[in-house]
């Protein structure tokens, strides 16, 4: 198991990541049961989080597809992507997911023909299930003051994208906020019980700000949990959020099979959520290994084939990775009423050499869509409308 200080997102420490043998690449994919409904012709949202791009370019990392070098956003767009997800921290170290970097990437992504999904963490660094640190400059505020700060900050961030003629299509209010955000004020679970009211008030403030940031073209609002393969936890979270009167457009899930279960687990969750909430569902983060080796001398988050629940169908090889995304695409297109909107692959260009932060290296280098020398892998086909190059579509 890797050292705990090597993962920027603490909830991921629960994964067992030992070493194991790579399965043969030629295994056939298993046939998973369908939802019984009509298959949507194509996913509407196909994209990636590209927030590390400027940091990669600063160390002269280059990428190419079939030997042709190009910036990441252009490669993804040429392969069929139509969205870029951009991470924004409030007051981080300069050049590390700050607003200036997001605005620059927003201009580039927009020029490449990609729509923008803005992922506002409401933190100065990584925010996730077990780490929702309030920005240092916001600490000490009352609940009412904090709500006004969240609304104003969100409005101003969204407005800056609109002002540079790169309007945001989707705003994510917080990142993996299953346990709340902006702790301690917006923390749901504590020794004293559950506090959904203060959490919901802050979410509502963010939503008001996002919509006010571009009133001529209000963005869709996505609420994001980290419960991709967990039906019960997903229902518990979204039931309680809706009971507080929170209104939103898109239901976002994180789904990494080595932490969140099999594609069958994901499918069962998607079918329940569609029937219960009648909202479009987006896999806001996902990835799959193309190798079990680790790059850059930093142990990867998954190095054991036993951590992959569908490994016999989708081995951790370049071709196995490609087939996994084909299968994921189909699972979403099987969601009734076209509610499986799409997915965003997390940081496909985050190659060795750029650390997660000042303390932690790159523990995700075997989950990219490029090898460690920047050559595009077969899974770039994941951005096609049906997730592949015609195999089994």
The pLDDT tens digits of the residues spanning 110-161 come to: 999 999 999 999 999 999 998 999 999 999 999 999 999 999 999 999 999 9
Q: How far apart are CA 280 and CA 378, in angstroms?
A: 28
Domain annotation covers residue 37: no
Is the pLDDT at 358 greater than 60? The verdict is yes
Active site residues: 176, 285
Overall average pLDDT of the 329-334 stretch: 98
Question: How far does Cα 197 stand from its chain's mean position?
Answer: 26
Indicate whether 145 belongs to any domain: yes
Q: Is residue 337 part of a domain?
A: yes
pLDDT exceeds cutoff 80 at 109: yes
Q: What digits encode the pLDDT tens for the residues 171-206? A: 999 999 999 999 999 999 999 999 999 999 999 999
Residue 125 placed within a domain: yes
Handedness of CA 259, 262, 267, 273 (dihedral sign): negative
Q: Report whether pLDDT(392) > 70.
A: no
Q: How many domains does the chain have?
A: 1
Which H or E element spans position 128? Answer: none
d(CA 313, CA 318): 13
For residue 336, count CB atoms less than 10 angstroms from its CB and return exposed for 0-12, middle for 13-18, buried for 19 or more: middle
- Nearby residues of 191 by Cβ (< 8 Å), 6 or more positions away: none
* CA-to-CA dists, residue 118 to 289, 375, 385, angstroms: 25, 27, 22
| Domain assignment present for 304 | no
CA 388 → CA 96, 175, 327, 377, 383, distances in Å?
Answer: 33, 29, 9, 12, 8
Asked, for residue 2, whether it belongs to a domain, the answer is no
Whole-number average pLDDT of the chain: 91
* Burial degree of 42 (CB within 10 A; 0-12, 13-18, 19+): middle
- Cα distance between residue 3 and residue 46, in whole Å: 33
DSSP per residue over 109-125, as a string? HHHTT-EEEEEE-SSSS
CATH code of 167's domain = 3.20.20.80
281: helix, strand or coil:
strand
Question: Tokens 């592949």 correspond to what residue?
Answer: 388
Domain membership of residue 268 (yes or no) is yes
State which H helix or E strand residue 355 sits in.
none
Domain coverage including residue 343 = 43-287+320-347+372-383
Task: Write down the pLDDT at residue 203.
Answer: 98
- pLDDT at 37 (0 to 100): 62
Distance, first Cα to last Cα, the chain: 38
Q: pLDDT at position 172, please?
A: 98
User: pLDDT tens digit string along 14-39?
Assistant: 332 222 322 233 323 334 444 456 89
Cα 248 to Cα 220: distance, rounded to the nearest angstrom: 8
CB atoms within 10 A of CB 103: 18
Q: Flag whether 363 is in a domain.
A: no
DSSP-assigned beta bridge partners for residue 170: 117, 220
């Amino acid at each position: 198991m890797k050292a705990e200080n090597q993962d920027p997102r603490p909830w991921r420490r629960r994964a067992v990541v030992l070493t194991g043998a790579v399965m043969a690449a030629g295994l056939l994919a298993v046939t998973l049961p369908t939802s019984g409904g009509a298959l949507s012709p194509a996913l509407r949202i196909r994209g990636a989080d590209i927030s590390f791009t400027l940091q990669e370019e600063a160390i002269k990392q280059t990428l190419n597809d079939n030997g042709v070098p190009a910036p990441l956003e252009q490669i993804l767009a040429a392969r069929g992507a139509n969205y870029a997800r951009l991470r924004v921290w409030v007051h981080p170290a300069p050049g590390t997911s700050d607003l200036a970097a997001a605005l620059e990437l927003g201009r580039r992504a927009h020029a490449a023909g990609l729509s923008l999904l803005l992922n506002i963490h409401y933190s100065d660094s990584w925010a996730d299930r077990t780490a929702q640190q309030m920005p240092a400059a916001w600490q000490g505020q009352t609940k009412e003051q904090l709500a006004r700060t969240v609304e104003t900050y969100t409005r101003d961030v969204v407005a800056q994208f609109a002002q540079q003629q790169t309007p945001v299509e989707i705003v994510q209010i917080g990142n993996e906020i299953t346990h709340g955000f902006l702790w301690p004020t917006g923390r749901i679970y504590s020794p004293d019980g559950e506090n959904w009211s203060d959490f919901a008030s802050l979410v509502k403030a963010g939503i008001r700000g996002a919509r006010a940031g571009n009133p001529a073209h209000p963005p869709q609002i996505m609420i994001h949990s980290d419960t991709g393969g967990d039906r019960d936890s997903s229902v518990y979270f979204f039931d309680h959020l809706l009971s507080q009167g929170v209104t939103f457009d898109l239901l976002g899930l994180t789904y990494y099979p080595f932490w969140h279960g099999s594609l069958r687990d994901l499918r069962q969750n998607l079918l329940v959520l569609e029937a219960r909430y009648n909202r479009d569902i987006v896999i806001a983060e996902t990835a799959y290994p193309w190798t079990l080796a680790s790059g850059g001398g930093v142990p990867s988050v998954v190095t054991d084939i036993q951590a992959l629940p569908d490994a016999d169908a989708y081995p951790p090889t370049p071709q196995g990775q490609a087939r996994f995304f084909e299968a994921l695409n189909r699972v979403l297109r099987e969601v009734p009423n076209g509610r499986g909107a799409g997915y965003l692959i997390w940081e496909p260009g985050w190659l060795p050499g750029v650390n997660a932060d000042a303390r932690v290296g790159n523990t995700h280098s075997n989950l990219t869509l490029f090898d460690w020398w920047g050559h595009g892998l077969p899974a770039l086909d994941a951005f096609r409308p049906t997730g592949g190059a015609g195999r089994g579509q």
